[in-house]
Structure 1
Amino acid sequence: MATKLHHSIDFPCPPAQFAAAVADEQYWKDLVANVAADLSDLDSFTDEGDKVTVVLRQRVPEKNLPSMVTKIRPGDLEITRTVVWSKGEAAEGAFTAVVSGAPAKVKGSQRLIATSTGCEISFDGSVEVSIPFVGGKVEKAIAENVVQLIEAEHEYTTEWINTH
């Protein structure tokens, strides 16, 4: 059974400004260069007119993984993360993350909402790890790490928007 993932973050900017940032390839290049730069790569950025699709490759060193994970799958993890955003002030999209060589997947949706102080991004998704007995524990650990990543990217994105 999958672990649910719900998280929201606020930005002190209008929705159009946030939407413009995530539709800008330079934003994604700067993000991977500044948030875990030695562990992240921008694989591709595709502007399809009404939406953008971003593929990121991220590595998690074995030393940073919980022991329950390294017992099941030793070595560093490589995660392919895909983010899709529609363009415009009512932007919405989807996200997925797949762990290479492991039965783990994160998937969900994201939505940009106007607020009285700027905008909010709402993430709703699930984490699924198909490993008997310990899958739920691993799912919870992954969900916590996804929230930490969202928060780290939120901090950098706020700085990026303020300077561009």
Structure 2
Amino acid sequence: MTRRIEHRSTSHRPARHIHAALVDPDYLRARLTELGGDVAELVSHSATEEGVHFRTRQRIPDRDLPAVLRPVLPGSTLLERSETWRERESEHFAGEVAAMLRGIPGSTTASLWLRDLEEHHTEHAEPTAGVPESGKRPAVSEFLLQGEIAVKLPLLADKPEELLERWMRTLIEQECEFTHRWLSGIR
């Protein structure tokens, strides 16, 4: 069975600033330290002209797993994640993420988009940090994740996908909140 997952959020920060944080090794390590449990590791990170690719590993504490899955899983569960980002055009970034929970037969794959939605002119506004002097600044940027969760535990029907979707949504929201704090300088 597969289950669709989608997350959409907006920010008053330019997509370029958010992207810079999302692929920054220091940001990734800090996010993993805060949200990654007792095993949290930036396994690899590489940046080339084509884009940025990184892999992370974090332990999912048993208390955070859906109760119906705990008896099925052998010990603690590790989330292995691979993420790639590239700039498609100015202020528009695209990516892919693939994740698997060690011990659960299945995977999660998703496409990622981060882009500025619109620009407006601020002729008389005073320059602020991160705003180009030309007077143009993005009013809002958007982050979109669309993907699928697939779990192969036939005796539990579609319950694992439903429960993992709920858990993944919580993790995505926690990561978005962490990113907001990081960009605001709250560490």
**Above 0.5 in TM-score?**
yes
Provide the rounded CA distance (Å) in 2 between the counterparts of 1:33 and 1:131: 31
Runs (5+) with no aligned partner, structure 1: none
Q: Which of the numbers 138, 141, 147 marks the counterpart of 2:169?
A: 147
Identity of aligned residues (%): 25
Provide the rounded CA distance (Å) in 2 between the counterparts of 1:22 and 1:66: 28
Q: Normalising by structure 1, what TM-score?
A: 0.90
Larger Rg over CA atoms: 2
- Residue 85 of structure 1 and its aligned partner are, at CA, apart by 1.0
1:72 counterpart residue number: 72
Within-5 A mapping of 1:17-96: 17-36=17-36, 38-87=38-87, 89-96=91-98
Q: Normalising by structure 2, what TM-score?
A: 0.79
Runs (5+) with no aligned partner, structure 2: 119-138
Q: Would you identify which runs of 4 or more consecutive aligned residues in structure 1 move more than 4 Å?
A: none
Q: How many corresponding residue pairs?
A: 164
- Residue 40 of structure 1 and its aligned partner are, at CA, apart by 2.2
Map Cα deviations across residues 70-115 of structure 1 (whole Å, 9 max, x no partner).
Answer: 2222321111011111136210100111122320211010101223
CA contact (8 A) 1:97 1:106 kept: yes
Aligned CA-pair RMSD: 1.9
Q: Which moved more, 1:40-49 or 1:51-60?
A: 40-49
Within-5 A mapping of 1:9-24: 9-24=9-24
Q: Which amino acid aligns with 1:42?
A: L
Matched residue SS, 1:71: coil
- Residue 39 of structure 1 and its aligned partner are, at CA, apart by 4.1
Matched residue SS, 1:31: helix
1:120 counterpart residue number: 142
Q: Which amino acid aligns with 1:59?
A: R
Q: Which one has the bigger helix percentage?
A: 1
Provide the rounded CA distance (Å) in 2 between the counterparts of 1:61 and 1:23: 25
